[in-house]
């Protein structure tokens, strides 16, 4: 049986073992109880309570506005639903940059109040002090390199990162730094596949790719994108497994028609 198949609960050790035997890791986002329950039942290894909740749940243009309290609320909802997956909670913008003591306090708050199993932070050398401090409290940390959406105002665009040699070599050294610091995995977002493969081979902890090609040790997608609930976002890397927005709209149209014409409720649907 596979490593993931044997695991009653996924831990950071399970992910490490999966990498060592070449078993791919699956990760999806979730932000609420009902969908998190389905994601867990579907057999996903890692559920990310992503700060993409800022876009997907709250309708913001970026991940910048979401707060620590919002992230804790979403994580609490997910934690109540999940039996098997490892739950990773994004630390929101402003909760860990610049001050490692504040980073530690905020990571502790997330762990205590949400019941999540690990936190994720965006960035390399600039935030490694915060990462080390969080790790020193026994909190597992997932890194995130490449296109780091909290830095969108620095990048100015959501296009592929690290195409140039200078940014690519910084990314490789950042990945090594995060591994040395003690991160248990690293998300690689929207970087060339060749670079992601090189990073995945250069470090012993798992890489989880999004728009980073097949050479990563695992893959992550935003749940609402892969289910076709959000349709205004169609990057090349996104595979849609359902077209739920059409199905939901059509179901709602049918309900409206049924109520308006007096077909709903019928005799069997009343007391």
DSSP-based three-state secondary structure for 88 = strand
The 8-class DSSP code of residue 64 comes to: T
Instruction: Work out whether 89 is an interface residue with ligand KIV (CB under 6 A).
Output: no
CB 188 within 8 A of CB 213: no
Binding mask 181-200 for ligand KIV (x = CB under 6 A): ------x-x-----------
Instruction: Work out whether 51 is an interface residue with ligand KIV (CB under 6 A).
Output: yes
What is the C-alpha to C-alpha distance for residues 228 and 216, in angstroms, rounded to an integer?
24
- The footprint of ligand KIV on residues 213-232 (CB under 6 A) is 220, 222
The 8-class DSSP code of residue 103 comes to: H
Q: Which is nearer to ligand KIV, 110 or 266 (CB)?
A: 110
Q: How far is the CB of 90 from ligand KIV (least distance, A)?
A: 5
CB 95 within 8 A of CB 63: no
* Contacting range for ligand KIV; rule: CB under 6 A; set: 45-53, 73-81, 165-173, 250-258: 45-53
CB 22 within 8 A of CB 2: no
Q: Which is nearer to ligand KIV, 3 or 93 (CB)?
A: 93
Q: Rounded to the nearest 5°, which phi and psi values hold at 178?
A: -65, -40
Q: Which is nearer to ligand KIV, 179 or 189 (CB)?
A: 189
| Interface with ligand KIV (CB under 6 A) | 29, 48, 50-52, 90, 187, 189, 210, 220, 222
């Amino acid at each position: 049986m596979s490593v993931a198949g044997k695991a009653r609960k996924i831990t950071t050790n399970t992910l490490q073992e999966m990498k060592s035997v070449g078993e791919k890791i699956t990760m999806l986002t979730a932000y609420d109880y009902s969908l998190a329950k389905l994601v867990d039942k579907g057999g996903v290894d890692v559920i990310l309570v992503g700060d993409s909740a800022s876009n997907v749940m709250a309708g913001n243009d970026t991940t910048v506005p979401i707060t620590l309290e919002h992230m804790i609320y979403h994580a609490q909802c997910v934690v109540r639903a999940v039996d098997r997956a490892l739950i990773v909670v994004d630390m929101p913008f402003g909760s860990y940059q610049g001050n490692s003591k504040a980073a530690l306090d905020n990571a502790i708050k997330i762990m205590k109040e949400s019941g999540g199993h690990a936190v994720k932070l965006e960035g390399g050398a600039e935030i490694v002090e915060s990462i080390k401090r969080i790790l020193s409290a026994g909190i597992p940390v997932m890194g995130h390199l490449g296109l780091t959406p909290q830095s969108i105002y620095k990048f100015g665009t959501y296009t592929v990162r690290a195409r140039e040699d200078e940014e690519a070599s910084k990314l490789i050294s950042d990945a090594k730094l995060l591994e040395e610091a003690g991160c248990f995995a690293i998300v690689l977002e929207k970087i060339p596949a060749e670079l992601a493969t090189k990073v995945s081979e250069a470090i012993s902890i798992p890489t989880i790719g999004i728009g980073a090609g097949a050479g990563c040790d695992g893959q992550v997608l935003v749940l609402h994108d892969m289910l076709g609930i959000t349709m205004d976002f169609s990057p090349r890397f996104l595979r849609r497994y359902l077209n739920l927005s059409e199905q939901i709209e059509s179901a709602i149209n049918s309900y409206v028609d049924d109520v308006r014409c007096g077909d709903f409720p019928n005799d069997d649907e009343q007391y």
